[in-house]
Amino acid sequence: MKLIICGAAGRMGQALVAAAKALGHTVVAGVEKKGVAVAGIETTDALKPAGADCVIDFTAPEVSLENARTCAAAKVPIVIGTTGFSTAQRAELEKLGGTAPIVVAPNMSVGVNVVIGMAAELAKRLGEDFDVEILETHHKRKKDAPSGTALKLAEEIASATKRTKSDFRLVREGQIGERPEREIGVQTLRGGDVVGEHTIYFFGDGERVELSHRATSRDQFARGAMRAAAWLQGKGPGLYDMRHVLGFL
């Protein structure tokens, strides 16, 4: 494939460039701020997707959304691994998906997406006698909290158990009273250089079930993004996620 990598000089961008080359793809351009160079590839400060098979973007919500607009106008597929989109931004991505094929996922790891599906199934089968808590840990430079993956876990568990976002508890402080039975707790840790860790706890009376995923490098995110880019080839317009890529949907 002929790929364009947005944010090519960043840690994730470099992992994407390396993964693309390892798989025999051609990185035709890296998009970066003016004056920022990336070894081994041509860089530009303006996304020009024409002629590319796919654009891959792990940048920031505002930048990713603008790049999605550009790709939709050119009808070029784009894979977005950015997190922290607002409700309005997500709605615009859905609208843009009506014009071009877009994969948006808070986590491109194959393993973590399998865990998300397993967590939803566990929640459904264990039932409401088990309290659900999600703990996520990331490096100190991560800007959004909770992580997009933790929120995705909460959303899928809620969907599987007929709950809503009103059941989420993202912060606990002070005299909060007893824990509501249908609450889904989502808690955050930040520090060091942790790539990403997520654990889902199902607390029952007399027993506990834990389901965890730990990322030790960014390479698996990059490999997942390559898999998503390959899957998008020949697909029609739509807003997809990694469940579509992995055949869950």
Residue 73 backbone phi and psi in degrees, to 5: -65, -35
21, 48, 142, 244: the catalytic one is: 142
Residue 83 makes CB contacts below 8 A (sequence gap 6+) with 61, 106, 144, 147, 148, 149
Q: How far apart are CA 95 and CA 238, in angstroms?
A: 9
Per-residue pLDDT of the chain (249 residues; tens, 9 = 90+): 999 999 999 999 999 999 999 999 999 999 999 989 888 899 999 999 999 999 999 999 999 999 999 999 999 999 999 988 999 999 999 999 999 999 999 899 999 999 999 999 999 999 999 999 999 999 999 999 999 999 999 999 999 999 999 999 999 999 999 999 999 999 999 999 999 999 999 999 999 999 999 999 889 999 999 999 999 999 999 999 998 999 887
Q: What is the DSSP string of 95-140?
A: HHTTTSEEEE-S---HHHHHHHHHHHHHHHHH-TTSEEEEEEEE-T
34 is catalytic: no
198 is catalytic: no
* Domain coordinates in residue numbering, the chain: 2-104+218-245, 110-215
HSE, side-chain direction, 13 A CA sphere, residue 177: 4
Q: Which residues pair with 212 in a beta bridge?
A: 199
- pLDDT tens digits, residue range 159-201? 999 999 999 999 999 999 999 999 999 999 999 999 999 999 9
Domain 2-104+218-245 annotated CATH 3.40.50.720: yes
CATH homologous superfamily of 110-215 equals Dihydrodipicolinate Reductase; domain 2 (3.30.360.10)
> What 3-state DSSP class applies to 202?
strand
Count of beta carbons in the 10 Å neighbourhood of residue 211: 17
138, 152, 198, 213: the catalytic one is: 138
Contact 199, 212 (CB under 8 A): yes
